[in-house]
Structure 1
């Protein structure tokens, strides 16, 4: 809110590291040998949650180096994954807190403002999805999405003590078509307004993004509408 000019805060007395968000790039994230096998020939995929400092640094580097949005800390409760086929690193994903208010999503769920406040933690945002640039594998992206959707609820339960029931993500129009999300049975429910979350006067336009949702529970609406 301070950055958006809505309030004025005094200068910080101590740094908290939030300004140092650019990871240092090392040889750990250097390009590797090309992988061109179709997804079905890669064998079982391993989804490794980022739990160690080494994996965290690698994940941060990969996103900073190869994802068009670059790296920044994920908001709220979060889980990051590195995806492997045997010893071969294929992809990186990150999941964090859902958007506070999102009209197309909220209409799709059918919850009230009170229910949203109470249950928003049950919605998780797929904030980053990166297939590494040296990997060209037909159908891999949709296979990764399907695998992580099966894995995430239990990992979230282990880490935070509850299971989310709905995933959301945003796909920037003009840059991507959301093909892998469509192939993975994610549901397109609308698009963003092209405004920042605190931009009440349309002064800071952002790219318009398609909104996709993926239910993790058959009765996700009932779970999200409880008060």
Structure 2
């Protein structure tokens, strides 16, 4: 059997990497975008809704390039995933709060905006790069981002994307074996970022935002990608946060990570230990996730 190499949750054989490498030197596919598109078509690499997984391919191929497996052509634009600015100065486009509310009543109604335009995307990216301690890192594959606005201005930004390939506490809680996990993992999404602007110090605001966003997440995902997830996961760094907001929003704490990170291949314990929290989007999530047949 041909050896395999794992990138972004997919195993690539030596023959497939050879095919990708050939596309990198083919005049018919001169750009990274065209290479990703052609490779997805050749490998039948598609999302659940049938769309080509071009963004995932671009991320995977960049990592292959860095690992010396293929040689990508130079990027056509400076604004590539490989050169995204992780930390930036505060965002001038964002309407920052014009007051310092201290209670939910002063915050008023929360308006949840799904990021769907280039302008909103730029605002979200720079807001996270400016104020989130992890900074901005592009998400690969299926994803949704939200900006949350109140009467006083924008107060929060969130994102949801691919779940961890393996997570022992989560997998044990669900009751997954390896084969079932591989076939049903797309039905779990990860809460990759959750930011409340540092100017806002309001008790219970975080749990209220989580509740409002998760109520609409399943439907938004269905519209965007043609299927509905049944579970959300997140990882809370134990030395930095207590996870109070997630518990207040009825998320379930199921254990702790081993500090390896979802892309770890060497089993080297190099990352902070995190609490693992889950939030069901469907009451029968365990049954759905433990069944290999389609919904």
Please indicate, yes or no, whether the TM-score normalized by the shorter chain is above 0.5: yes
Which is helix-richer, 1 or 2? 2
Match among 149, 158, 166 for residue 84 of structure 1 = 149
Matches within 5 A, 1:1-80: 8-15=68-75, 17-22=80-85, 25=89, 26-29=91-94, 32-80=97-145
Q: Which position in structure 2 is the counterpart of 1:162?
A: 227
Q: Does 1:151 align with 2:216?
A: yes
Please give the per-residue CA displacement for 1:30-60, whole angstroms capped at 9, x wherever unaligned: 8543432412443321110000111100000
Superposed displacement of residue 79, structure 1 = 0.3
Q: Which position in structure 1 is the counterpart of 2:19?
A: none
- For the aligned residue pairs, the C-alpha RMSD in angstroms reads 2.3
Taking a change above 3 Å as real, the CA distance of residues 80 and 193 of structure 1, as seen in their structure-2 partners, is: same
TM-score, normalised via structure 1 length = 0.91
SS at match of 2:127: helix
User: Distance between the aligned counterparts of 1:122 and 1:156, measured in 2?
Assistant: 10
Asked if 2 retains the 8 angstrom alpha-carbon contact of 1:35 and 1:137, the reply is no
Runs of 5+ consecutive residues of structure 2 not aligned to the other structure: 1-6, 8-61
Asked if 2 retains the 8 angstrom alpha-carbon contact of 1:166 and 1:217, the reply is yes
Higher mean C-alpha deviation, range 168-177 or range 37-46: 37-46
Greater relative contact order (Cα < 8 A, sep 6+): 1
Q: Which position in structure 1 is the counterpart of 2:188?
A: 123
Asked if 2 retains the 8 angstrom alpha-carbon contact of 1:124 and 1:167, the reply is yes
Runs of 5+ consecutive residues of structure 1 not aligned to the other structure: none
Number of residue equivalences: 227
Asked if 1 retains the 8 angstrom alpha-carbon contact of 2:94 and 2:154, the reply is no
User: Distance between the aligned counterparts of 2:214 and 2:238, measured in 1?
Assistant: 24
User: Distance between the aligned counterparts of 1:115 and 1:176, measured in 2?
Assistant: 32
TM-score, normalised via structure 2 length = 0.71
Task: Decide which structure has the larger Cα Rg and report it.
Answer: 2
Please give the per-residue CA displacement for 1:143-190, whole angstroms capped at 9, x wherever unaligned: 000001101111111111111110000001111111100111111111
